[in-house]
Amino acid sequence: MSEVFSWQSFITPVIVSLKITLLASVIVFVLALVAARWMSRSSFRGKLWIDVLFMLPLVLPPTVVGFILLYAFGKQGFAGRLLYEVFDFSVVFTWWGGVISAVVVAFPLVYQTIKAGFDGIDRDLEDVARSQGANEWQVLRYISMPLIYRMLLVGYMLGFARALGEFGATLMLAGNIPGRTQTIATAIYIAADSGKTSLALGWVIVMILISILLLLIVRQPAKD
């Protein structure tokens, strides 16, 4: 019992999860911001198909996403072979595999949220800034982003929460190596499956507390 409830064994998956989630949430936020801005302000043939591709991980089963990532980043896949030949590195069963999985599954939520914000901006406001000599970065930084800061916050928090709770794709690409790739989600599954209900319950409580904190941040009323 002392081993089951040791502080080290309990806190390690929490630390691994937070490290993966913090990095993944920043990466996915930047990628989603760029993609959302581009899709909201561009018009071209095939735009619908790109939008469908961006949203696909949201509707695919996590195991399917995990299989695709495993196929792509395995040593026989294009991305995996490139990483191995150039850097002598493989993301399979590594911490980086967890980050990649979290980014992919969280991207659709963040992308759709931020895109909805951009779509709701009055284009005339941006055009006025351009007429005064502002470049596209200045329009984005000083006009567009301040107008949708609530959507940006919600998008980031949704991405953080989705990355934190990711299970299926992470298990397939990063595995479940204690101390290295075992996250809270995979730890709960293994503990419950092996009959360690109290240990699993402890991690469940941690996840609930983190989720409540995220919701409280998002639900804070906007200041005038």
pLDDT at site 219: 78
Specify if 183 maps to a domain.
Answer: yes
Residue 98's domain is classified under what CATH number?
1.10.3720.10
pLDDT at site 221: 67
Structure tokens at 77: 């896949």
List the pLDDT tens digit at each of the 224 positions of the chain: 444 457 778 999 999 999 999 999 999 999 999 999 999 999 999 999 999 999 999 999 999 999 999 999 988 888 888 888 888 888 999 999 999 999 999 999 999 999 999 999 998 989 999 898 889 999 999 999 999 999 999 999 999 999 999 999 999 999 999 989 999 999 999 999 888 888 899 999 999 999 999 888 887 766 55
Domain count, the chain: 1
DSSP class of residue 77? S
User: What's the pTM value of the predicted model, to 2 decimals?
Assistant: 0.90
Specify if 206 maps to a domain.
Answer: yes
Q: What is the Cα 103 distance to its own chain's centre?
A: 4
Specify if 149 maps to a domain.
Answer: yes
Q: What phi and psi, each to the nearest 5 degrees, are found at residue 147?
A: -70, -25
Specify if 1 maps to a domain.
Answer: no
Residues ≥6 apart with Cβ < 8 Å to 35? 54, 111, 115
Specify if 2 maps to a domain.
Answer: no
Do 218 and 153 touch, CB atoms closer than 8 A? yes
Cα-based angle 41, 44, 47 (whole degrees, multiple of 5) = 85
If one counts every other C-beta atom within 10 angstroms of the C-beta of residue 194, the result is 11
Cα-based angle 109, 136, 47 (whole degrees, multiple of 5) = 45
- Residue 44's domain spans which residues? 7-218
Specify if 30 maps to a domain.
Answer: yes
Q: Which residues of 116-131 are buried (b: 16+ CB within 10 A; e: fewer)?
A: ebbeebeeeebeebee
Specify if 60 maps to a domain.
Answer: yes
